[in-house]
């Protein structure tokens, strides 16, 4: 049985609203679902694998959780990302992801920067990323689900794409598709930063 929504959860953010609006909705939504199940923060931490302190920050709208963290929370409630971030109050068919929105910065270190370009509430059958690699940097991945393929276009630089025992060298403007259900990698083999657009399609 669903309880009445509080004022904080009565209206979800419309697509294109700021990360702050999304975080407000997510925080209220997580707290609502946890309360409905009679779970403590420790219970949710145990079910999701997300630390109690992070969950507390999310509920208090003091954190910008990554896609992976949000996905784990959704799974702990036996929900999809779309269900967790459902926006029933949406009135626009346009979803905007701003370049400076830190909520979509999936990973950043000195050699590799990944930014999510697909909405966080998109079903997990398609993912769209911008990947920037410094010279010598690499993005190496374990096999994804069976049947998964990746599609990549080089915006700048020179990269080597590896899929299983196969490899190809790509330059600016080149595109490639390859199996991603085997070990695979994108390696910057040039002398300058490489930037690529990457799409994962799950089957």
User: For each of the chain's 203 residues, which pLDDT tens digit applies?
Assistant: 333 333 333 344 444 445 566 777 888 889 888 888 888 999 999 999 999 999 999 988 888 888 889 989 988 888 877 778 765 554 456 677 778 776 677 777 889 999 888 876 555 678 899 999 999 999 999 999 899 999 999 999 999 999 999 999 999 999 999 999 999 999 999 999 999 999 999 87
Angle of the 41-48 helix axis to the 67-76 helix axis, nearest 10: 110
Please give the Cα distance from 83 to 77 (Å, whole number).
10
> What is residue 34's three-state secondary structure?
helix
CA–CA dist 195, 134 (Å, integer) = 9
Domain spans in the chain, listed from the N-terminal domain onward = 19-84, 104-201
Residue 126 has what pLDDT? Answer: 82
CATH number for region 19-84: 1.10.260.40
The whole-number pLDDT of residue 1 equals: 31
CATH architecture classification, 104-201 = Sandwich (2.60)
Residue 177: per-residue pLDDT: 97
Q: What is the pTM of this model?
A: 0.57
Taking the C-alpha atoms of residue 88 and residue 4, their distance in angstroms, rounded to an integer, is 15
Separation of alpha carbons 135 and 157, rounded Å:
9
Same-fold call for 19-84 versus 104-201: no
What pLDDT does 10 receive?
Answer: 32
Q: What pLDDT does residue 34 have?
A: 87
Give the span between the Cα atoms of 56 and 83, in whole angstroms.
21
């Amino acid at each position: 049985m669903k309880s009445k929504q509080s004022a904080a959860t009565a209206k979800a953010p419309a697509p294109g609203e700021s990360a702050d609006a999304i975080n407000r909705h997510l925080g209220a939504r997580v707290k609502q679902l946890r309360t409905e199940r009679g779970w403590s923060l420790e219970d949710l931490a145990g079910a999701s694998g997300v630390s109690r302190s992070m969950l507390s920050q999310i509920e208090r709208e003091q954190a910008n959780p990554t896609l992976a963290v949000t996905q784990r929370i959704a799974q702990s409630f036996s929900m999809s990302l779309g269900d967790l971030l459902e926006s029933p109050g949406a009135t626009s068919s346009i979803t905007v992801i701003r370049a400076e929105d830190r909520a979509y910065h999936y990973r950043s270190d000195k050699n590799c920067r990944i930014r999510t370009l697909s909405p966080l509430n998109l079903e997990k059958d398609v993912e769209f990323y911008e990947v920037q690699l410094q010279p010598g940097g690499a993005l190496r991945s374990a096999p994804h689900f069976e049947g998964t393929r990746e599609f990549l276009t080089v915006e700048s630089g020179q990269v080597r794409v590896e899929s299983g025992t196969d490899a190809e060298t790509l330059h600016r403007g080149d595109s490639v598709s390859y199996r991603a259900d085997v070990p695979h990698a994108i390696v910057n083999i040039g002398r300058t930063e490489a930037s690529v657009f990457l799409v994962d399609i799950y089957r």
